[in-house]
Structure 1
Amino acid sequence: MKPIFYIFIFLFGTGSFAQNNTAFEQANTLYNEGNYTEALRKYTTILDQGQHSAELYYNIANAHYKLNHVAPSIYYYEKALLLKPNDKDILNNIAYAKNMTIDAIETVPEVGFSRLIKNATSTLVFDDWAKLSIALVVLFVVLFLMYYFSQSTSKKRIAFITSVTSLIAACIVLGFAFNSYDIHQKNQIAIVFAQESQIKNEPNLRSAEAFKLHEGTKVQVIDTVTNWKKIKLSNGKTGWIITDDIKIVTDF
């Protein structure tokens, strides 16, 4: 009975994948025809079925951008960037989308060694760093076995040097993987969806207003108290915003 069940799951999964591919192509056709509302509806049906990819988020963002939906377009571009951090098309289009925002917030640049580490870490996502570290560990094992069983002195020397090199590389890559995961956990990016939101000094409505933010502005969530989120801007300013006024980018 189990083999039949597994075959059914496989066939169902394959069929679902094919259906989503068809829906994706149909949505692309609608988009190319200028029917952005229907294209967006089609893309969303794929998303509702639990399918996630940088391409899907990118196309959803493009449709929102064409419809002048400021916050949703930036939100989905940011989600696409999480999966493809250095994609030139995504970076180019999100720059256009951010031009529609009202808030002009300066970014305090990182300097020194921490900037180099962060830039290096961002070249790959956590999953890719993890896969690369596993591949290097496997390579180390294979090379070490070659060193152990080889009868030739020259081959043993080469195998030993390359195995040690691969082990060191695996440790470095593993460090990048953990750093990437740590950044992901701390870097709870969110986008303001309210047309205008009052940012408070304390997490309650009676607190004094610190400043205002408008839709499409990118913030970092650093704390939560009931239905309030403490946010930090790229210029270092902090304050409290009502949870319903933002959407967390890292929520999948």
Structure 2
Amino acid sequence: MKKILFFILLSMSLTCFAQDSLNIDSKQTNGADSIHASHTTFSSNTLEDATKAEGDSAYIKEDYAAAIQIYEALLKNGEAADVYYNLGNSYYKAKAVLNYERALLLQPGNGDIRANLEVARAKTIDKVEPVPEVFFVSWIKSLTNSMSVDAWATWGIVSFILLIIALYFFIFSKQIVLKKVGFILGIVFLIVTICSNLFASQQKEHLVNRNEAIVMNPSVTVRSTPSESGTSLFILHEGRKVNVKDNSMKEWKEIRLEDGKVGWVPASAIEVI
């Protein structure tokens, strides 16, 4: 009877847990049929039928204008890290940084995206030294960003299943050795389950509530108040990444830099990642 109740509770737990974890999902790009990427401009109807392969073909032929059009049309159907990555390759400076950052949001553990982002950042004018973090905080962030939200969610589900199996041996096994093994593994899988879901939750938070942006204007003056008459604090140039501190106003946004500096810029001068 105890085993029957155990398996009933197991089934209910797995169903609820899987639904909650797999809720953490990024949108995938939908491809359609065919166009020829040999032209640099396309009609809106033609772009609706564009595929990633055709965008890649245009990029390989160094027809960057055509590739950009196709990739941006694809992204209207949904986000995909590889499309953002290729779009970043097709652009230069600010637009490149923006699309690499968007690709990294979807695949934070992708080394190629991160490497190309660093190259694009190196071409920007502003060099900001971030405020040093405690090593433990940096380690946690690095671990969180080592995999995507979907990967962490999958780890959470797998470790939860293994946790249930370990609990089964701990509760129902008549052998002391199996009980001890089940207990120890249960603790390990419990920690992995909790951490995986916490990391997935943080990744999802970054995807849903995007509060980072890239400066898109060649240069923008950061002011002390949300007005052109505000005191000029400093100047930022295209490609600089900023944190949007106050998003309540339509025309102006309060930003924060990695070194702690804050100020206001016109909303039109930045684009949210």
Query: TM-score of the superposition, structure 2-length normalised?
Result: 0.74
Structure 1 residue 56: Cα displacement: 0.7
CA distance in 1, matches of 2:214, 2:230: 22
Rate the CA distance shift 1:184–1:99 in 2: closer, same or farther, 3 A. same
Match for residue 123 of structure 2 among 81, 89, 100: 100
Check conservation: 1:203, 1:225, Cα contact below 8 A: no
1:84 paired to 2:107: yes
Given that 1:197 and 1:212 are in contact with CA atoms closer than 8 Å, whether structure 2 keeps it comes out as: yes
User: CA-to-partner distance for each residue in 1:78-135, whole Å, 9 max, x for gaps?
Assistant: 0111122232211221222223322222233323322222222222234433332232
Tell me, which stretches of 5 or more residues in structure 1 are unaligned? Answer: 1-15
Paired amino acid for 2:90: A
Are the structure 2 counterparts of residues 135 and 82 from structure 1 closer, same or farther at C-alpha, using a change threshold of 3 Å? same
1:245 aligns with 2:269: yes
2:130 partner letter: T
Of the candidates 63, 67, 72, which is equivalent to residue 35 of structure 1?
63
TM-score (norm 1): 0.80
User: For 1:34-75, what per-residue CA distance to the aligned partner results, in whole angstroms no more than 9, with x for missing partners?
Assistant: 11111111111211222x21111000000113xxxx211110
Shift, 1:201, TM fit: 0.4
**Per-residue deviation, 1:183:** 6.2
Query: Using the alignment, how far apart are the partners of 1:46 and 1:146 within structure 2?
Result: 50
Judged with a 3 Å threshold, the aligned counterparts in structure 2 of structure 1 residues 242 and 173 are, in CA distance, closer, same or farther, namely same
CA–CA separation in structure 2 for the residues paired with 1:17 and 1:34: 21
| Deviates most, 86-95 or 71-80 | 86-95
Q: CA deviation at 1:162?
A: 1.8
2:85 counterpart (40, 58, 81): 58
SS state at 1:130 partner: helix
| 1:130-179 Cα distance to aligned partner (Å, 9 max, x none) | 33223212221122224434444433332333223212322233343445
The SS at the match of 1:163 is helix
8 Å CA contact retained: 1:186, 1:222:
no
How far apart, in 2, do the equivalents of 1:111 and 1:141 lie? 36
Residues 135 and 31 (structure 1 numbering): CA distance in 2 closer, same or farther, change over 3 Å?
Answer: same
Q: Between 123-132 and 178-187, report the one with greater CA deviation.
A: 178-187
Alignment of 1:1-252 (within 5 A): 17=31, 19=33, 23-50=51-78, 52-65=79-92, 70-180=93-203, 188-226=211-249, 227-249=251-273
Paired amino acid for 2:73? T
Asked if the contact 1:85/1:123 (under 8 Å) is kept, the reply is yes
Equivalent pairs counted in the alignment come to 229
CA distance in 2, matches of 1:107, 1:181: 24
Tell me, in whole angstroms, the C-alpha distance in 1 between the residues paired with 2:240 and 2:103.
Answer: 17
Please state how far the C-alpha of 1:180 moved relative to its aligned partner. Answer: 4.5
